[in-house]
Chains A and B, each alone.
Chain A
Amino acid sequence: MGRWTEIDHTADLALHIWATDLEDLFTTAARGMFQLLTGDVSIESSHQEFFSLAALDVETLLVDWLNELLYLNEVKGLVFDTFAFDKLSPTRLRAQIRGALVREYINYIKAATFHNLEILKTEDGYETEIVFDT
């Protein structure tokens, strides 16, 4: 089960993420990002979205994944809490996600950035830091 902690950044928001495998990494990063946006709100998922992404490498795929979720949040007002992957490799994913309409936010995130982004393979799984422009 992955976990995250918020790291101080002078102007923006940043997360340190630990995860057991790739699926856990993508899920944990998404959960951490939505917590930055909404705080600890509980939602009753009633909306479902499906999408596929392909990217150059795993770092780009992670940024694409988070930015796809931010896009869905901005245009549909949805916050997601359930993430399932029909397919997930370092360069491709096909996801089914579930979420709900949320109107109250504590932060706004413009985008997930590539700043110093490196996904490290560790003995316990994966570890990374991601900076969000706010």
Chain B
Amino acid sequence: MVQKQDFKALSAYVYELPATYDPRMRVPARIYGNKRVFDMAFGDRSVEQLINVAMLPGIVQYAMAMPDMHQGYGFPIGGVAAFRYDQGIVSPGGVGYDINCGVRMLASEIDYEEVVDDLDDLATVLYQNCPSGVGGKGAVSLTHKDLDKVLERGAEWALANGYARRDDVERTESGGCLPGAQAEVVPDRAKERGRPQLGSLGSGNHFLEIDVVDEVYDVAVAESFGLAKGKLVVQIHCGSRGLGHEVCAQYLRQLQDAPRRYGIEIPDRELVAAPIDSPEGQSYMAAMAAAANYAFANRQILAHFARLSFEQVLAGKVPDWDLRMIYDVTHNIAKVETHKVKGQDTKVVVHRKGATRAFPPGHASLPPVYQKTGQPVLVPGSMGTASYVLVGTEHAMEETFGSSCHGAGRTMSRRQATRSVRGEEVRSELHKKGIVIRSGSMRGLAEEAPLAYKDVSMVVDSVVGAGIAKKVARVIPVAVIKG
């Protein structure tokens, strides 16, 4: 079993396990985080899972875990790994079942103080307009043909159908549409699950939240993002629903035989993989892109209904009730990107499993509005705690394939959480803090209680300390809608 002393501290925020630790490792494994984060990593099996990632063919530089790392099922959550396009693999388990689970944030000109008495109504209307919960049906109905268009066009479909503005699409990672998506490689069963669910949050840790900006660290960048102290913002966290789960499950099943056929050694069956340029690898990439596009459209439609909810409750009460898109990031994805590997521009597939892209100023992938600032990096905290808006850095491009953390990261199982605290207590604590809550399940509240998570500030201080993101602003919740 791997020990802390097997790692070497490269700095106060980066710990490395050399590839010599296990002859099957092709590259070193790195943990990003301060000493406390590093120590916590040994509380579950996430380090073991990180080592498994370092064994996969075609991996370059290092297998990395961000400071919000915890045990997953294959890759650790918080895992980042890049594989050479010409010699590497793509692994559905390295993306996960909730393909393109992600988060978006919308800014407003609404002063928190002006609408304190309206928050209860806002939460109720949002809960009605943005469906959540187990098996929740979505806010839009789709024909089979429509669904195929959603899969191939993503947020562009939402724009063409009145659920988006041009600005929303431009401020979405990859323009809200991953290239190469093919509806015909998405299994019928995935479509059957996804068709009734577009425009729904789902359950688990997914949420819609109204926050207020309580701290601004970089005034100029915050201004470019549309953030100002005391103003409301909205965060939406969800993914590709049953459609993505089915795509992942079916491809994992289909690829069970691929390691034998392609002579790939894998340390865990959940990490089954196919060469990127193989027919199986290409088919998965096309299906994954389609599921990712569904998720982009899903968050866009929820944002549309959030806007309508704000209008319904606040029109006439405040001068400007509009919600303006800041950015939408994906945190479960495999993307074709070009990065420097040993000084050479190299085409790779970056797997981010619970990690956020964090591209620097001037990167060609960013929309004109963020060319000077760099990419907004959205880091939601646990329920009832602060969330952060960060911005990408050049150092992240050099070290982490332009990646940073995606949240606080769990430390406690759902079962432990429900044993430690009751949902009613969590709700009462949130009420005491002035946070309005709408949730379909008391147990769900207990499972997502802040005590089950790391302190998001420690996680953020770690990525800032490591230089892979910079702080822009902090927001605190005032209303939470949960499945």
Contacts and interface: CB of A to CB of B under 8 A. Distances in A.
Contacts of A110: 97-98, 245
Given A105-B134, A114-B272, A11 B410 contact: yes
A131 B257 CA distance: 20
19 contacts: A8-B413, A9-B71, A10-B44, A10-B410, A10-B411, A11-B70, A11-B72, A13-B414, A56-B257, A63-B253, A64-B253, A75-B193, A105-B135, A111-B245, A113-B73, A113-B270, A115-B93, A115-B269, A133-B98
B275 interface: no
Contacts of A108: 134, 202-204, 483
B97 A116 contact: no
Given A10-B411, A134-B414, 19 more contacts: A8-B413, A9-B413, A10-B71, A11-B414, A13-B415, A60-B256, A64-B253, A71-B189, A74-B193, A108-B202, A113-B74, A113-B270, A114-B93, A114-B268, A114-B270, A115-B270, A116-B269, A117-B270, A131-B73
A107 interface: yes
A123 to B, nearest CB: 25
A18 B2 CA distance: 29
Interface in A38-82: 55-57, 59-60, 63-64, 67, 71, 74-75, 77
A111 to B, nearest CB: 5
A24 interface: no
Interface string A121-134: 00000000001011
Interface of A: 6, 8-13, 55-57, 59-60, 63-64, 67, 71, 74-75, 77, 105-108, 110-111, 113-117, 131, 133-134
Contact of A134 (B189, B204, B248, B443): B204
A66 B357 CA distance: 34
Interface of B: 43-44, 46, 70-74, 77, 93, 96-98, 134-135, 189, 192-193, 202-204, 242, 245-246, 248-249, 252-253, 256-257, 268-270, 272, 410-416, 441, 443, 483
Contacts of B134: 105, 108
Contacts of B415: 6, 8, 13
Contacts of A8: 413, 415-416
A71 B135 CA distance: 11
A6 B75 CA distance: 22
Contacts of B43: 10
Contacts of B93: 113-115
Contacts of B193: 71, 74-75
Contacts of B270: 113-117
B71 to A, nearest CB: 4
Contact of A133 (B97, B253, B413): B97
Contacts of B416: 8
B249 A116 contact: no
A133 B96 contact: yes
Nearest to A131: B73
A134 B204 CA distance: 7
A57 B256 CA distance: 9
A133 B72 CA distance: 8
Contacts of B249: 63, 67, 111
Nearest to A12: B73
A10 B74 contact: no
Contacts of A57: 256
Contact of A74 (B46, B242, B252): B242
B242 A115 contact: no
Given A106-B443, A111-B248, A114-B252, A10 B413 contact: yes
